[in-house]
Structure 1
């Protein structure tokens, strides 16, 4: 039966591709606008009028999905390549590389939102750490004009292997590092155009928006206005006029740091979960991103490009308010100088596992120094074992979920680690590398598209943290999650498998999309990448086969496939906990709604745990 479904899926993709190809012999232009961290149900004519109008007049992908782990660089890799994380190897914002990363001060657990780190990873992993072609690279090779503007990290990912100084056209890259020694150099053409437009050659800082606060001091109360105004001006006053003058198709990626940055750092809710990310600062961040989109659309109108330009708006993930409370965690019972009493410290997972497994804890972000009993790792990451240069276990701290690596693939240590995790009230769902075997209470990573052709080290265990809601009409707008982060209770985070984080915002408008269409089918960020490739007549040669689908139902005369619901349930652990995944399926494609332990994840009620899937 599965073979029949796969063959049918392949046939429909070919039919859709042929139809789209015939429609797009001369491809239209395309803008991908990414409002980082925008929740799927937060957009209204009041909160974000430009995005609401685009959604309602174009295609409303109301059933949209971020890929899990729901982090920025991970989902950027999916949008940029059309592949799932098992192929791209960008499993979270912080990963274990297996080697000391020089530009990240020699740590083996680098934060990927930095241009030098991405370049170093490329060099180490055969010239392309993603191991998949990106849409800007393919478009550039075809002679199209290409640009990526905005937030540091995901912006460069869209053409991270472009080698400045070689022959041929290059993608224009303008991010936080532009104008510094770490930034992608500007061409003479761009320098002249920026100067003529009276714009600086260096990106302004975030200013007060970058203030994260601490346990006693609230974070920011302003949106990222000035920096994003610069990116919007570069796009509308320099890049788009330049592309129009070239008179050939273009692909422009605009990655808006807001509302993500303002939600993360918001100072409206210090140490309390209400209003959390629903205070005035977060709403200002949403409106700021919306204003940037409105400016882009006006520029298209003014330049006479609106009729020939498709716009896809897709956020990388949803968002939740941070909680730092646990009744079972040993780390929450320790006193720290920078953590309120009884709250979880940054790096709580590393601290708790070190105690449970009786292993020394070392800090990969502090020259592998031993972590003292009343301290926490500087960035939350941890190396467990007697020799930090050859750790038995590595923890990459990320937020609403963490990654655990067992470099020696020790199955007995994996079993002990899983049993320790199952005792913690902040855990809600565990996913284990298939090569380690099956463990009660857990599911295999291959079930989530986390096992593929990745060249970076594969996590051994992915730990999802508990989430709940504060109570509101739309639960995904008031989601709260335990988060392993330097940020405080009441600020914002993402990364979990709750629907508050997996429900992102996606909409599209333009000559190649239906008008006024409400799409009931599930879509994902990998589908966004595949659809862009199709609309631009790009033909990727992928290393792996974990790809999204073309969103055919949103295209005129496109095929509208059927959808079905499903679930996967693990065997119970000794304490009765089961990891449950709820998903939707379009042909052979799975779209993951929520996962975790029933009752501990937003969108996953107790009834879900009673369902069974054949073969489990």
Structure 2
């Protein structure tokens, strides 16, 4: 009996030791997992072209490309606009799912904060919040990476350009728990900050309101050059908020985090610059835009330095992307009726803003109205025009609504929806214009010669917002600098001047965006030749953060596994071309793209000889 008791004591002792060891092992394992849980900084350099990165102007960006991953086969989504690609970066979905088809889209009801327009410009918090309410409290119909990380207990923040900032967590209505800073912070339309953040701002001698762009916000006019300075003051504020308030707070919380920094430069400066008034050269390759690139790189360098000083560098991945590429703006056409008329602030022979609406109304013998001014009649013969257009006999029962965006426009057939015969009349009118290069038509209208369906470019999915009937791509070319994507030119429907900057087309200069990454989850010194796009950003970062992104639609990007440590050396892709049936005048919309399994990466599209990169 004594022997059995002795053995039992030893057994119990061994069990206790095993229990302690197992418990310690679990604790150590959990501790290691907590210690190695990584963070993510997404740095969006709005409108930064890969060709403009170099060791002199952008040493930080150059270093990330050389020491980390350089995505040399990168893509913006078409239409190549900011809010559209912001929706993709936020959710990992193509535009057919997010419904953010361009910066200006048609919605279901007039938006009060956009002068009661049916085609509001989305780079505005009040507009985004109103549009949200029209579409089930989430116009994107998808959950973003930021919202997913927040729900999982991460610290989250988005800083920078108004519009894309709120889109990263579009259902948020106050300053907690995602920290949001943009142009409107501290104003009635700004997203309120928490008391914790306002206290930290004051402690660090930072204003509670974002400074304005100042001179950088001045675009000039047809006789007055635009800005000659970068957006330095405003972005220095954003960089200081990020490095002196947000990152130290996140480090103090000892929780993983996701931070998005959306740099308005070089985009804002490229749009407004005054280096090339009414001239295509130097266009966006002048000294003011160079200063904007340097400003962008300075902000990124400040963020990297702060991560290092806070001891966060080793556990933080930095993913750099640009929402789109960029081109110089042209307003020339030899076929446009609109360009033959005289306007107060448009050089003789140049295209006025809203030229597509003017030309269509003229060809269809219909009246034109301004949706952004209570449907006031527009009479181009008397020198008036409008940015967007309502076409029809009665503005309250329009035939067509034109959302003018820049390098491409959206047309919505209203009373004539699903009317193929009427769509054909519109297509016939557009095919006559030398400024058109490629047309995409809603699949419900059937096959129309000279055009391709919206579904071919992933513009038809589970979107809640109205689907455009026709997407008009404009002509693009280059000025002959020897590197076409570095000196691309778009004809564009905009109030900016010839020689200033624009984007939005299916030119390779606009679809070719900057993408690079560095950090503990990414390979070092790796040049990624595989096609990637902005739709791949969220899935990839969700993967490294062990987050599960929910999805409503199926138009989703992929995990860029080849760029991750332990991933394959490369992934097989194919190059393909899709060509429409010829129109009566012989024009065919041609689409060049690459594929990885079922995912498409769009290079360029348009008519032969009218699209750069085709």
Both proteins in one fold, TM over 0.5: yes
Equivalent position of 1:4 in the other structure: none
How far residue 537 of structure 1 moved from its aligned partner, in angstroms, is 1.8
Residue 23 of structure 1 and its aligned partner are, at CA, apart by 9.6
Q: Which residue of 1 aligns with 2:274?
A: 267
Instruction: Identify the match of residue 137 of structure 2 among 127, 132, 147.
Output: 127
Alignment of 1:196-345 (within 5 A): 196-345=203-352
1:5 corresponding residue in structure 2: none
8 A Cα contact 1:40 1:64, kept in partner:
no
Contact 1:27 1:535 in 2 (8 A): no
Aligned partners of 2:343 and 2:384 also within 8 Å: no
Q: 1:530 aligns to what?
A: 539
Q: Distance in 2 between matches of 1:330 and 1:504?
A: 34
Deviations 1:67-109 (A, max 9, x none): 0000000000000000000000000000011310111110001
Counterparts of 2:179 and 2:311 in 1: how far apart (Å)? 22
**C-alpha RMSD over aligned residues:** 1.3
Provide the rounded CA distance (Å) in 2 between the counterparts of 1:388 and 1:133.
Answer: 36
1:91 aligned to which of 78, 101, 108: 101
Q: For residue 610 of structure 1, what is the aligned residue in structure 2? A: none
> Using the alignment, how far apart are the partners of 1:377 and 1:514 within structure 2?
56
Within-5 A mapping of 1:494-533: 494-533=503-542
Looking at structure 2, the residues matched to 221 and 148 of structure 1 have their Cα atoms a distance apart, in angstroms, of: 28
Q: 1:535 to 1:377 in 2, by over 3 A?
A: farther
- Whether 1:108 aligns to 2:115 is no
Q: Do the aligned partners of 1:569 and 1:578 also contact (CA within 8 Å) in 2?
A: yes
Contact 2:108 2:134 in 1 (8 A): no
Distance 1:383 1:434, change over 3 A: same
> What TM-score results when the alignment is normalised by the length of structure 1?
0.93
Q: Distance in 2 between matches of 1:424 and 1:529?
A: 39
Counterpart CA distance in 2 for 1:464 and 1:473 is 24
SS in 2 for 1:362: strand
How far residue 588 of structure 1 moved from its aligned partner, in angstroms, is 1.4
- What residue is the counterpart of 2:608 in the other structure? 598
Q: Which residue of 1 aligns with 2:64?
A: 54
CA deviation string 1:565-612 (max 9, x = no partner): 1010001111111000001111111101000001100011xxxxxxxx
Preserved CA contact (<8 Å) 2:341 2:383: no
Question: Where in structure 1 are there 5+ consecutive unaligned residues?
Answer: 1-21, 605-616
Partner of 2:78: 68
Task: Return the match for 2:178 from 147, 171, 191.
Answer: 171
Distance of aligned partners of 1:334 and 1:149 in 2 relative to their CA distance in 1, 3 Å threshold: same
Aligned to 1:552: 561
Question: How far is 1:473 from its partner?
Answer: 2.5
Could you tell me how far 1:164 is from its partner in structure 2? 2.5
User: Out of 40, 47, 57, which is 2:50 matched to?
Assistant: 40
Give distance in 1, aligned partners of 2:583 and 2:500.
33
CA offset digits 1:125-182 (Å, max 9, x no partner) = 01100000011111111110000000000011001102338xxx51000000000000
Query: What is the aligned counterpart of 1:426 among 435, 447, 457?
Result: 435
Aligned partner of 2:148 among 128, 135, 138: 138
Structure 1 residue 25: deviation in Å? 10
In structure 2, which of residues 394, 406, 410 is the aligned counterpart of residue 403 of structure 1?
A: 410
Task: State which drifts further: 487-496 or 559-568.
Answer: 559-568
Deviations 1:33-63 (A, max 9, x none): 0010001221111231110111110000010
- Take 1:553 and 1:374, find their aligned partners in 2: how far apart are those partners? 57
Q: Distance in 1 between matches of 2:306 and 2:422?
A: 57
Q: After the TM superposition, which of the residue ranges 407-416 and 343-352 deviates more from structure 2?
A: 407-416
Note if 1:353 corresponds to 2:363: no
Following TM superposition, by how much is the alpha carbon of 1:446 offset from its aligned partner in structure 2, in angstroms? 0.3
**Structure 2 gap segments, 5+ residues each:** 1-31
1:435 aligns with one of 444, 451, 454: 444
In 2, distance between residues paired with 1:530 and 1:117? 28
Larger mean Cα displacement after TM superposition, 245-254 or 400-409: 400-409
Runs of 4+ in 1 over 4 A off after TM superposition: 22-26, 375-379
Q: Secondary structure at the match of 1:321?
A: strand
User: C-alpha distance in 2, partners of 1:547/1:482?
Assistant: 30
SS in 2 for 1:56: helix
- 2:29 is aligned to none
CA distance in 2, matches of 1:392, 1:45: 53
Residues 1:206 and 1:440: Cα distance change in structure 2 (over 3 Å): same
Query: Tell me, what secondary structure is at the counterpart of 2:604?
Result: strand
Instruction: Give the TM-score normalised by the residue count of structure 2.
Output: 0.93
2 CA distance for matches of 1:530 and 1:335? 50
- Provide the secondary structure at the position in 2 that maps to 1:327: coil
1:359 Cα shift? 1.0
Conserved in 2, the CA contact under 8 Å of 1:346 and 1:376? no
Contact 1:561–1:587, Cα closer than 8 Å, also in 2: no
Report the equivalent of 1:13. Answer: none
* Structure 1 CA distance for aligned equivalents of residues 139 and 160 of structure 2: 21
State the shift of 1:378 in Å: 5.9
1:584 and 1:97 map into 2 onto residues whose CA distance is 32
Shift, 1:417, TM fit: 0.3
Alpha-carbon distance in structure 2 between the residues aligned to 1:191 and 1:529: 30
1:25–1:295: structure 2 CA closer, same or farther, 3 Å change rule? closer
User: SS where residue 381 of structure 2 aligns?
Assistant: coil
CA gap of 1:199–1:373, structure 2 versus 1, over 3 A, is: same
After superposing the two structures, state which structure 1 stretch, 98-107 or 82-91, moved more. Answer: 98-107
Deviation of 1:115 (Å): 0.3
Residue correspondences, number: 580
Q: 2:520 aligns to what SS in structure 1?
A: coil
